[in-house]
Structure 1
């Protein structure tokens, strides 16, 4: 028999119990440190991953539940964009729009004295297209002209309105009106890029 074992066997009972308890404690500590703690940490990691995945599932479920509403909003925005596109002409449509404005004025009974397009002013995604206009005719004709311009499907703002040469002719109040008619057009992608380059070089 091993001398160490014989030595332990000859020890008093209390010391034997103490050695046994100490050995069991060391074994339990080793099991705890090398087996239980790694598994415990792994379990906590898996719980955290599960919680994260559950949150992602909840978020995706919420988005999926909102999909019909988001689709309706998208469809509405698409319609609004289409409407905006009809109100802002592209560069090819500007000459015909300006022709329409002069036709409206002539149909209202006005004589065009000045119709002078000015230089465009580029903004973020659109350009202002201003036109100096001077017309002569009756107050009634001027009012009809402004109303017809307001009813155009395109956006045309009339500003800087000034009346002059007011006189009565055949019981009709005649006047000369000077104003600024401003319409707008969308810039295409190339124009927007060129405009950004121009501003960057300043």
Structure 2
């Protein structure tokens, strides 16, 4: 037998137990550091990834469960956009809109003294189309005109209303009304690009 091993076997029992304990501690530390700890780190990383994936699954299920509602909301938004688009005409529709305003005034029994479009005022994605209007008729005719304009399918704002030259003819009150009718139109892509270019 090897002489070193003989010395080891001849040691007292206490020393043998101490050496055995040291060997067990070194082996346990090596096992912990090189086998157990990497596996625990890997397990923790996988557990975190599993938690993330489960959360994604729950989010996707919630979205999938609400998909019919989202589709319905999307369809409603499309309808709302189409309705909004009908209220803001494009460049080609402006003359017919101005004709509609004029027809509403004539239909209400007013005499047009002035109907003069002003230059357009470009904004972000639309342009204001102002029109100076002067009409003559009874108060009721003027009220009917304003109601008819409010019922047009396009947005038309009437402001800067000034009543002048009020007179009584055969028991009826006639008035001259000056106002500014403003409608709006979408700017097309070419106009938007021109607006964004520095002047």
Deviations 1:157-193 (A, max 9, x none): 1111111111122222111110000111112223223
Partner of 2:159: 159
Partner of 2:53: 53
Q: Give structure 1 regions of 4+ aligned residues with deviation exceeding 6 angstroms.
A: none
Give the RMSD, CA atoms, in angstroms.
Answer: 1.4
Structure 2: which 5+ residue stretches go unaligned? none
Cα distance between partner residues in 2 of 1:157 and 1:6? 112
Cα distance between partner residues in 1 of 2:28 and 2:71? 61
Cα distance between partner residues in 1 of 2:29 and 2:141? 103
Partner of 1:68: 68
Partner of 1:14: 14
Report the TM-score, using the length of structure 2 for normalisation.
0.94
Structure 1: which 5+ residue stretches go unaligned? none
Which secondary structure state, in structure 2, belongs to the residue aligned with residue 177 of structure 1?
strand
Partner of 1:149: 149
Deviations 1:65-108 (A, max 9, x none): 22122112111111111111111111100001101111121222
Cα distance between partner residues in 2 of 1:9 and 1:158? 113
**Across the two proteins, how many residue pairs are aligned to each other?**
199
Deviates more, 1:34-43 or 1:163-172: 163-172
Report the TM-score, using the length of structure 1 for normalisation.
0.93
* 1:4 Cα deviation from its structure 2 partner: 1.3
